[in-house]
Amino acid sequence: MGSAVRTQQDTCPTVGSPFETEFISRFGLPHTWRGALAFAWLLLIHLTAALGLYLYPRPGWSLFFAFLLIAFVGGVGTTVGYHRSLTHRSVSLHPVVRWVLIFVAMLNGAGSPVNWVATHRLHHATADTPDDPTSPLWGGFWWAHAGWIWDSGHSVPRNYAADIQDLAPWERFLAPILVASYLGGVASGPAAFFWLGSLRLVLAFNATSFVNSVCHGNPVASSPEAGSRNVLWLALPQLFLGENWHQNHHLHPWSPRLGFAWWQLDIGYSIIVALEKLRLARRNTKPKFFQRASEIRR
């Protein structure tokens, strides 16, 4: 983890004017077939979503509510299932709840659990250093937002997710779940095809990606943890699930709660408390895994 302790000023190739550090991006083409597939998928959902907005700009209240509800449930899968439970171990979930949350996270386009967890642990271990897979400080806004997905030279060590290798078989279901997610709405008509499929996937993708692209990149931060930001407006696309309080999270990654102040809405945490009352979850105040880079063994 030597590079994780390099200072940004020593080695960062993009530190310069605020414009350079915040907005100029590396934005290359895919190098691998996996990268090409990811690029094609993201292009497909964004083009389909644009067409859907053009053809059906007013979906009606019931369809719009269904769009928000499915996106919200998928977001719970990502923040409670993938992030707080599987990655940081700040909450233990009943196995059935864990499986349901993995399914809805994959349905929302979050990818397979092992890959998500390993990538996110690498991000925490190397935040805003050259080894960070998603840092806008090093790659620019668009790199952090999307480009890293298909153009990254980073390989994520498998042992960053050694404790959840029993979840590796979910990878096999990724393609069929994504196809069902994209096409499933067609059963309820053409407007539902767009709003429950591509438009929902585009909302979920960008809400998550903004955490990478706008919640990081403070070039004068005193530490990698302090280089992250809480971003108020991101609460809305995040559907108030709490992931926008990202500096809180970097400062206290072991906390199951992300919104610390009373006004920092964190519905993800409320859901954890409710699950705990139903004996389907248990908060862990001192989880053993992955608090600091030094605790991760390669």
* Residue whose C-alpha is closest to residue 195's, from 75, 74, 51: 51
Identify any residues that bridge with 91 across adjacent strands, giving them in sequence order. 283
Which stretch, 67-75, 141-149, 158-166, 225-233, contacts Zn ion (CB under 5 A)? Answer: 225-233
Q: By beta-carbon distance, which residue lies closest to Zn ion?
A: 228
CB atoms within 10 A of CB 204: 27
- Smallest gap from residue 59 Cβ to Zn ion (A): 33
Which stretch, 38-46, 143-151, 220-228, 282-290, contacts Zn ion (CB under 5 A)? Answer: 220-228
- Smallest gap from residue 224 Cβ to Zn ion (A): 9
Contact partners, residue 189, CB within 8 Å, separation at least 6: none
Burial environment of residue 165 by CB neighbours within 10 A (0 to 12, 13 to 18, 19 or more): exposed
- Smallest gap from residue 120 Cβ to Zn ion (A): 5
From residue 227 to residue 246, the character string flagging contacts with Zn ion as x (rule: CB under 5 A) and all else as - is: -x------------------
What's the rounded Cα separation, in Å, for the pair 266 and 264? 6
Which stretch, 201-209, 224-232, 261-269, 285-293, contacts Zn ion (CB under 5 A)? Answer: 224-232
Q: What are 143's two structure tokens?
A: 């790199």
- Smallest gap from residue 113 Cβ to Zn ion (A): 14
What's the rounded Cα separation, in Å, for the pair 132 and 139? 10
What's the rounded Cα separation, in Å, for the pair 200 and 195? 6
Residue closer to Zn ion by CB (options 90, 198) is 90
Which stretch, 187-195, 226-234, 258-266, 279-287, contacts Zn ion (CB under 5 A)? Answer: 226-234
Residue closer to Zn ion by CB (options 144, 191) is 144
User: How many CA atoms lie less than 13 Å away from 34 in the CB half-sphere?
Assistant: 9
- 44, 50 in Cβ contact below 8 A? no
From residue 170 to residue 209, the character string flagging contacts with Zn ion as x (rule: CB under 5 A) and all else as - is: ----------------------------------------
Which stretch, 70-78, 166-174, 223-231, 270-278, contacts Zn ion (CB under 5 A)? Answer: 223-231
Dihedral sign, CA of 133, 139, 142, 143? negative
Residue closer to Zn ion by CB (options 137, 199) is 137
- 141, 23 in Cβ contact below 8 A? yes
From residue 69 to residue 108, the character string flagging contacts with Zn ion as x (rule: CB under 5 A) and all else as - is: ----------------------------------------
- 232, 248 in Cβ contact below 8 A? no
Binding site for Zn ion (CB under 5 A): 228
